Amino acid sequence: MKKDIRRAIIAGNWKMNKTRPEAKELIEAMKPLVKDAGCEVVICVPYTNLETAVELTKGTNIRVGAENCHFAKSGAYTGEISADMLTEIGVEYVVLGHSERRQYFGETDETVNKRTKAALEAGLKPIVCVGELLWERECGITEEVIARQIKLDFFGVTADELKNCVIAYEPVWAIGTGKTATADQAEEVCGFIRGVLSKLYGKDVADTITIQYGGSMNAGNASELLSKENVDGGLIGGASLKANDFAIIVDAATKG
């Protein structure tokens, strides 16, 4: 992390977990544990918990995010939620292009790009996820895959808009598998992403963009990952569902 030039952000991605009473319990447990955080703390929760999360975190240092949004303003898109619907209830962040969306719900770089632009237009801060599959890494094309995703997902996004975006590098083989990328592997790809941004937007802009690592980040490995210069935080799945573990990761970002 280089906290002097870019924001460190620890974001929980709850995925499809927690009923409303369970969400309340987790947020209440989390609040006192992260109140002195020296980084931005975000919880990205299922749609049904958004209003509850916004209510319970009012006046605290916890920000609320959604896990997806549609690109249209409104219309015949059964089951979808627009970016305006999210901002209207006080949501600030939105996860886009998560590998589970790409893998199970037909998300493509084209739709990630459209969602990113719609989110920015509505005033949301997108957390855009990129990452290679295991066989892509084994074939030695990690950098090609990542560069392609960055170029497509941010196509038409201006430098000013990019400043409101967060990028999460999540190697698909490390998500929910317990297999974490080593700190050096995370640093290598996060640094590579910054290089791609530098070519597209210039070094001054690239240096200010928060690039998170995600994929089995937990209380035990967070400090080492966050000690790397280009790893500016984490997108945390499993470990964000336990208040104590999440707080330890926030502490690691505070100290780092």
Complex with ligand PGA: residue 27 or 235, whichever CB lies closer = 235
- Integer Cα distance of 227 and 240 in angstroms: 20
CA nearest 142: which of 152, 150, 134? 134
What the block records as the tokens of 146 is 């990542």
Residue 38 among known ligand-binding residues: no
Shortest approach of ligand PGA to residue 235 CB, angstroms? 4
Angle (deg, nearest 10), helices 20-34 and 47-57: 40
**Which of the residues are catalytic?**
98, 170
Residue 14 among known ligand-binding residues: yes
Shortest approach of ligand PGA to residue 43 CB, angstroms? 12
Complex with ligand PGA: residue 32 or 176, whichever CB lies closer = 176
Complex with ligand PGA: residue 10 or 86, whichever CB lies closer = 10
The residues near 226 (Cβ < 8 Å, ≥ 6 apart) are 1, 8, 233, 234, 252, 253, 256
Place of tokens 């569902």: 241
Residue 255 among known ligand-binding residues: no
The residues near 104 (Cβ < 8 Å, ≥ 6 apart) are none
Residue 202 among known ligand-binding residues: no
Shortest approach of ligand PGA to residue 108 CB, angstroms? 18
Place of tokens 């929910």: 176
Complex with ligand PGA: residue 216 or 230, whichever CB lies closer = 216
Residue at shortest CB range from ligand PGA: 237
Residue 240 among known ligand-binding residues: no
Shortest approach of ligand PGA to residue 121 CB, angstroms? 24
What Å distances lie between residue 29 and 15, 44, 89, 123, 182, CA to CA?
19, 16, 23, 29, 30
Which residues of the chain form contacts with ligand PGA (CB under 6 A)?
A: 13, 170, 175-176, 214-217, 235-239
Binding residues: 13-15, 176, 216, 237-238
Task: Extract the annotated binding site for substrate.
Answer: 13-15, 176, 216, 237-238
